[in-house]
Amino acid sequence: MATDSGSQRRLYELMVLMKAADDRLSKGIATGELLCVYWPSRGQEAIAAALGLCLRPDDQLLTTYRGLHDLIGKGVPLLEIFGEMLGRQVGASRGKGGTMHIARPESGVMLSTGIVGAGPPVAVGLALAAKRRGLDRVTAVSFGDGATNTGSFHEAANMAALWDLPVVLVCQNNQYAEMTPTEHTMKVERVADRALAYGMPGVRVDGNDPLAVVASLRQALERARSGGGPTLLECLTFRFRGHYFGDPMAYIPKEQLAAAQAADPLPRFRSHLTGTGVCTEGELDDIEAAASARVEDALAAALAAAPPSIDELDSDVYGDPTHCPA
């Protein structure tokens, strides 16, 4: 099924918003204006935009510390993301979780985690709950290439397949785990091939092409929703700013980085949209200006907001903080 022009425009809007947020955070951290930590998603926007377009509001998404793009795609308000990163009460976790711990169940974002490989088992639990309740929601879980080397990934994949759970395992293969390239940690060349061991489809797509991701994701979602079970969707991409913000990236060969930047999903999709007549240059300029303005407004509001009060130290930790052992 081809993606209609309205959806293509929506994909670009999401990708541009993700990039604008990343650019602004990067500028602010680099100059000392913002003192938060950040694991940049610049370069991986096409995957998150496809998830944002294809997931229903009641579908669930789990992500990692490198989750800015995923959170924006699933509709977490920018104010709640920036607020959380900056430790403000307006943050999604009331400013007490930080960059790595953003959840917003109202948007279907159930977990962000800093523990590599921790997302898939939680996704399996959520999908099992949905199945037992007879809901037709799907749980998508996003994680890196490195996460597929953890035991928890393999256990989760096995159970998801065994029980035909409505899960989509979305691997954002950016070719590095911290400073280690995938060929130093995996005998197989394709993460997607790992699906064979569990009896589920494994699909590899160009993760820099939002339309390719959408096409494969739709099939995986349809399969999951209709009781067909999970899919492992490997999206091949790259992270342009290294592991953490400020990473000097000395371990990335210059030619590899240059080639990856030449395949930047944003300019590529922009030329596709103008070349095929889906949008004019002017319309795309407007989308970009609107995204930057939204980012500035949200950041200003987050910076102006108060940090959580000390009275909240124990709230949202235990149901009964007085009688629960600390």
Partner 1 sequence: MTAFPVRIPRVSVAVAEATLVALLVDEGSQVAEGDPLFVIETEKVESEIGAGASGRVHWSGTTGATYDIGTEIGVIHRE
Ligand X SMILES: Cc1ncc(C[n+]2csc(CCOP(=O)(O)OP(=O)(O)O)c2C)c(N)n1
Q: List interacting residues with partner 1 (CB under 8 A).
A: 27-33, 35-37, 244-248
144 binds ligand X (CB under 6 A): yes
114 binds ligand X (CB under 6 A): yes
Among 115, 197, 289, 317, binds ligand X (CB under 6 A): 115
Supply the minimum distance, in Å, between the C-beta of residue 72 and ligand X: 16
Each residue 230-259 as x (binds ligand X by CB under 6 A) or -, in order, gives: -------------x----------------
Among partner 1, ligand X, Mg ion, none, residue 238 binds (CB under 5-8 Å by kind): none
Would you say 181 or 246 has its CB closer to partner 1? 246
Supply the minimum distance, in Å, between the C-beta of residue 207 and ligand X: 12
What is the C-alpha separation between 144 and 235, in angstroms, rounded?
Answer: 10
116 binds ligand X (CB under 6 A): yes
Chain positions 147 to 186 lying near ligand X, rule: CB under 6 A, are: 147, 174, 176-178
Among partner 1, Mg ion, ligand X, none, residue 301 binds (CB under 5-8 Å by kind): none
66 binds ligand X (CB under 6 A): yes
Among Mg ion, ligand X, partner 1, none, residue 302 binds (CB under 5-8 Å by kind): none
User: Which residue is nearest to ligand X, using beta carbons?
Assistant: 144
Query: In the complex, which residues of this chain contact Mg ion (CB under 5 A)?
Result: 144-145, 174, 177
Let me know: does 291 contact 17? Beta carbons within 8 Å: yes
Contact residues toward ligand X (CB under 6 A) are 66, 114-117, 143-147, 174, 176-178, 243
